[in-house]
Homo-oligomer: A and B are copies of this chain.
Amino acid sequence: MKTPPDSHAMPATLASLTGQGVEAIDTPALVIDLDAMERNLARMAAFARTHGMRLRPHAKMHKSAALAALQMQAGAVGVCVQKTSEAEALATAGVTDLYISNEVIDPAKLQRVATLAQRLQAAGGRLAIAVDSLEGIARLAAAVEGRAAGAAQTLVDVFVEIDVGQGRCGVPPGEAAVVLAQAIAAHDGLRFAGLQAYHGRAQHQRGVDERRHAIALAAQAVQRTRALIEAAGLPLPLVTGAGTGTFALETASGVWGELQAGSYLFMDADYAANVHDPAQPAFEHALFIKSQVISAGATHAVCDAGHKSHAIDSGLPRVHALPGQGAMTFANGGDEHGILHLAEAGGELPKIGDTVWLIPGHCDPTVNLHDGLIGVRGGLAQGTVERIIRVDARGALT
């Protein structure tokens, strides 16, 4: 896969930052500590390699073809996305192996899925998608029908999603999955690729034992379903799933063959609040919001970053104090403001004009608020902007 250019159609104000010091970054802005990110990238790649696991990171997190390319250069087989338009945006920016790990139902959208599958196949790549209903399979098959599959014989890889504890999409483990696997196999253009088994809820259970219990139950459900599918005469090529909170558990189970973790690359405050499982590598915070103090009173200071610059679905940002800065807490100040208090008595509040760095609560929807990520080399305090990473699928909702 060729590496897409870093910054096509980027806002000029971002593009012009390359080569400048951190102090030149206007606020609020989303900044990547490239050194930390690259360490995270290498740790995850080493884990997958060592354990013989396929790694297909979830690009719903970074929405960036440049970062997908870095992940694939480090050994990832491709990336996941959640939306058709996300897949299209990343394909346009050069990614050729994409898995829409989600259900697509609209006929017009499924036509786009089929077109994208042809496009990827022509580029030597592949498209996969998840299903959890006969209706979904029939609609997908109708969109694919009559389209040339080329040398690969089938056009789209199809995973049956089973609900292993998330309580969202997916059929119950067991017979329902067999019925869907058979329905997929009955269509010429579709290839039954295996099971999508992602336990989203387990990712953020704080204790290691809780997560271990949740994934053990999920593994049993997958095993039981696999046995039924194989007993029905269908080979089951792959079980895919796992996230940044639990991937060492799925790996150890021997049941999963592919890991979909995405947040490991940036790490957010929510994942960092998990008790660390020593079986998996530790990741560093690599995604930060640079903000500036615009108001300072006797009891608090106010910075220019509110929930239009960072998502708060998984909690507020944490303040990342640089050496010399006192510890601070962040309170919600609305769409455009953050309210800063001292965490300990006796310190000094930041002054008007000071820079305050924040660690977002949840990286995925935070990245989606920004057109570009500002990659800094040499640390947040005195580093230099090395590259601007375009959020190619920013706002790609459909």
Contact = CB atoms under 8 A, between A and B. Distances in A.
Interface of A: 13, 26-29, 60, 82-83, 102-106, 108-109, 132-133, 135-136, 163, 167-172, 200, 292-297, 300, 302, 304, 307-309, 311-313, 332-337, 339, 352-353, 364-365, 368-371, 394-395, 397-398
14 contacts: A26-B106, A26-B398, A29-B397, A29-B398, A102-B336, A106-B292, A133-B352, A168-B337, A169-B295, A170-B295, A307-B365, A335-B368, A368-B369, A369-B369
Copies of this polypeptide in the complex: 2
A307 B365 CA distance: 8
Nearest to A61: B335
A297 B166 CA distance: 13
Given A294-B104, A302-B169, A397 B334 contact: no
Q: Which 4 A-B pairs have the closest CB atoms?
A: A169-B295, A103-B294, A82-B336, A26-B398
Given A28-B397, A370-B395, A397-B309, A295 B168 contact: yes
A26 B109 contact: yes
Nearest to A109: B26
B295 A397 contact: no
B336 A60 contact: yes
Contacts of A170: 295
Contacts of A353: 105-106, 135
